[in-house]
Amino acid sequence: MERGLLKKALVRYVAGVVLMGLLLFVPAGSFTWFHGWLMMGILFVPMLGAGIVMYYKAPDLLRRRLSVDEKETEQKQVIGYSGLMFIAAFVLAGLNERFHWTALPAWMPYAASVVFLLGYLLFAEVLRENRYLSRTVEVQEGQKVVDTGLYGVVRHPMYFATVILFLSMPLVLNCWPSFVIMLGYFPIIAKRIRNEEAVLEKELKGYAEYRKKVKYRLLPYIW
């Protein structure tokens, strides 16, 4: 197997664990915050498992998922806005834990954890259906339109899965003000989808016909 790909994946994974740990536990002022560790666990344990599976079964897909070389100016803006949103939401959740500003019902973080894991399963199914998925907006050599499975319901099932994941995160962290911040993901993802579809319709053969066949972008009967 490719040692370079393995090294890149491990470095990215460890960096993600460290960064999120800092964003959560430093503002919380404690490393014994249960909801913080719950969030870390349901996020990074499945991520590690998915990474191992992709490394051995679909290394090309893993390589694309690790790519962050975005060429589209609008998508760079989307990435920047998303980063600010995550930083604000996680830091606020940590501060909320430290100063006990607000709290959710005791059952809510556990229910949100189940929803988060269901979102992860949906995300995994999308990866299984579409081997062309990348973190960047691009049309790859030999790429074809995928219109079966979840792609027969909405045109961007991966982004639908991320909506589930991101909106459940603040609830796992027991912080409804962070949930309000995460609602900003809707205009951010709408901007990304509009730009991505313009690129795909221009560069991917058959995508214009696919848009006519599958009418909804993200939410069936809504948008």
Q: What does the pLDDT look like over 4-13, one tens digit per residue?
A: 888 888 999 9
Within 10 A of 4 (CB to CB), how many other CB atoms are there?
A: 9
Helix axes 59-66, 3-28, angle to 10 degrees: 50
Above 70 in pLDDT, residue 1? no
Provide the percentage of residues in the chain whose pLDDT is more than 90: 48
**Residue 96 · residue 177 · CB < 8 Å:** yes
For residue 92, give the H/E element and its range. helix 73-99
Higher pLDDT: 152 or 23? It is 23
**Sign of the C-alpha dihedral computed for residues 104, 109, 114 and 115 taken in this order:** positive
> Which residues lie closer than 8 Å to 33 by C-beta, 6 or more apart?
24, 25, 94, 97
Mean pLDDT, residues 23-41 taken together: 97
Cα–Cα–Cα angle for 213, 216, 222, nearest 5°? 145
Q: What is the SS3 assignment for 223?
A: coil
Please give the single-letter amino acid code of residue 70.
E
Mean pLDDT, residues 37-49 taken together: 94
**Sign of the C-alpha dihedral computed for residues 153, 155, 158 and 160 taken in this order:** negative
Provide the percentage of residues in the chain whose pLDDT is more than 70: 91
Above 80 in pLDDT, residue 44? yes
Confidence (pLDDT) at 123: 87
DSSP string for 168-219: HHHHHTT-HHHHHHHTTHHHHHHHHHHHHHHHHHHHSTTHHHHHHHS--SSS
Alpha carbon distance 52, 78 (integer Å): 28
**Sign of the C-alpha dihedral computed for residues 106, 107, 108 and 110 taken in this order:** positive
For residue 90, give the H/E element and its range. helix 73-99
* CATH code of domain 3-213: 1.20.120.1630
Mean pLDDT, residues 66-73 taken together: 66
**Confidence band for 59, pLDDT divided at 50, 70 and 90:** confident
Residue boundaries of the structural domains of the chain: 3-213
Confidence (pLDDT) at 60: 79
> Which residues lie closer than 8 Å to 93 by C-beta, 6 or more apart?
24, 27, 28, 35, 36, 170, 173, 174, 175, 178
Question: Could you give the count of Cα atoms lying within 13 Å of 15 in the half-sphere of its Cβ?
Answer: 7
89-129 pLDDT tens trace: 999 999 999 999 999 999 999 999 999 999 999 988 888 88
Mean pLDDT, residues 53-58 taken together: 81
> Which residues lie closer than 8 Å to 59 by C-beta, 6 or more apart?
1, 2, 5
